[in-house]
Structure 1
Amino acid sequence: MTAPTSLRLADWGVIRAQGADAARFLHGQLTQDFLLLDRDHARLAGFCSPKGRLLATLVGWQHGDDEILLALPAETLAAALKRLSLFVLRAKCRLTDASAAFAVHGLLGTPAAEAWTLARDGDAVLIALPATPDAGRALRIQPADAPVPAGAAMTPDDWAAAEAEAGMAWVRGATIEAFVPQMINFEALGGVNFKKGCYPGQEVVARSQYRGTIKRRLQVFEADGAASVGQEVFHSADPEQPAGVVAGCGMRGGRTVLAAEIKLAALDGGSLHLGSAGGPALRPRALPYDLPPQD
């Protein structure tokens, strides 16, 4: 079997949560259930503001006894760590930035596996991610001084395009507090547990799910020319008001593949464009997974 292509994700970091209350503390702060976390699975989760807006998106797993690691884009790490630390209070949980101790690698072309399953390879973990239509993907997190994974290297644009093709976007600096989890299909990707107890923003997230329809969703597109995370998207019939925002993007073969959060009503007719109603046109692509039905 050909080894997957890999990329050191230098723009990612790691938070360490250590102590007897680490799982319980994270369970009370994040959108996923950390009390039932086991050694064979990771958890996709969001950290929300009281208004239900995502401050950070991350993936967490058991690293050792009373220790959980959280990997996330570095541009959201410092603010998330600072805010989480405010709520520790008397909990037996110590939060630290452990980014210097670990290297996060993205792998493309891994064997098919259910998203968020976890395999261990010595001191490294391999976490399956949602796949593109053509290839499996994974995160490999290993000690910072460990050898680079075998296989050819890919470019940051290769990885970013694959993320968009998989219909997945992580909160970045330009999109902090831009989305309620469902706006980036987070519940469809396994990032929200609606049966667990309270966490910051839980009432807003639950209300979005159970009262009325969700009016905005992440969709996959292609476009000619470059895009950037946080860039607004406009509809041809409404040049004054943005219809959405780019949540993730990467270039491949001279074209941009992007995942954008879009008003669903804007998909019914007309055309969508980057930056302005006269900007590059977006060409829709199919999501590689099903969205929950709406009432």
Structure 2
Amino acid sequence: MLVPRGGDARTLAQDLARFVFRSKVKIDVSDELHVSDGEAYDDGSVRDDDGALLLGEGDASLRIGTNTGDDTWVARHIDKGFAWLPDAALGVLLPPALSMERLGAVAFDKGCFPGQEIAARLHFLGGHKRHLRAARADVGAALEEGQALRIGGKEVGIVLMRANIRISPTTLVVLDDTMSQVETLDIDDARLHLVSTFAE
């Protein structure tokens, strides 16, 4: 089972079907499901709970099923650097910008996937210029998922996720490395306070 972290599941299924050769594999897309918080289970564990899928994350689990729930999981994923992508970020960010190597989701020194050689060369030569950051926005900041972050008209990053369940809204962004040493960013629509980065 594959849980897309952004994009359209049917389009993804069509793209994956192009890579099925000489195998009896059928790719189906489920009806629409909802994500919510679940009970705490070991990191990486998978459970079935009356038809809902529970993906263990140590301190909680991600519950995927037909029932709707609150979005407290969003803040937890922002804190951990588990990016979910808005449409504006699809197809424009390379794996290091999302810290995918840290999550074990990509390896640059082994395996074979489309574009792997180019991605590995960029990685080992330090060619990636954007990386994942967690930030807190000032109260009332008008940030939207997929919004380009600009300073003086120059684009320096993009908003991936935001959670407004706290007094100080939490945001997961991808920023240019030129901003990596800055603690506070005065962007066009808001002020961001960078609180953490995610090691490769």
Whether TM exceeds 0.5 here: the answer is yes
Cα 1:271–1:191 change in 2 (3 A) is same
Coordinate RMSD, CA, aligned: 2.8
User: What does 1:201-280 correspond to in 2, within 5 Å?
Assistant: 201-212=115-126, 214-224=128-138, 225-235=141-151, 239-269=152-182, 271-274=184-187, 276=188, 279-280=189-190
The residue that corresponds to 1:90 in the other structure is: 22
Give the AA of the match of 1:228: E
TM-score, reference length from structure 2: 0.82
Q: Does 1:77 align with 2:9?
A: yes
Residue aligned with 1:188, SS: coil
> Greater strand percent: which structure?
1
TM-score, reference length from structure 1: 0.58
How many residues are matched? 198
The residue that corresponds to 1:106 in the other structure is: 36
Deviation at 1:104? Answer: 4.5
The separation in 2 between residues aligned to 1:168 and 1:191, in whole angstroms, is 11
Structure 2 unmatched ranges of 5 or more: none
The residue that corresponds to 1:127 in the other structure is: 55
1:57-116: CA deviation from partner (whole Å, max 9, x where unpaired): xxxxxxxxxxxx11124643122112222232433211121235xx453326625x33x3
1:106-151: CA deviation from partner (whole Å, max 9, x where unpaired): 326625x33x33345575542223x7xxxx2322345x5xxx59xx
Residue aligned with 1:88, SS: coil
The residue that corresponds to 2:108 in the other structure is: 194
The residue that corresponds to 1:168 in the other structure is: 82
The residue that corresponds to 2:199 in the other structure is: 291
Please say if residues 146 and 159 of structure 2, whose CA atoms lie closer than 8 Å, have aligned partners that are also in contact: yes
Identity %: 23
Structure 1 unmatched ranges of 5 or more: 1-68
The separation in 2 between residues aligned to 1:269 and 1:173, in whole angstroms, is 27
The residue that corresponds to 2:63 in the other structure is: 140
Deviation at 1:244? Answer: 0.8
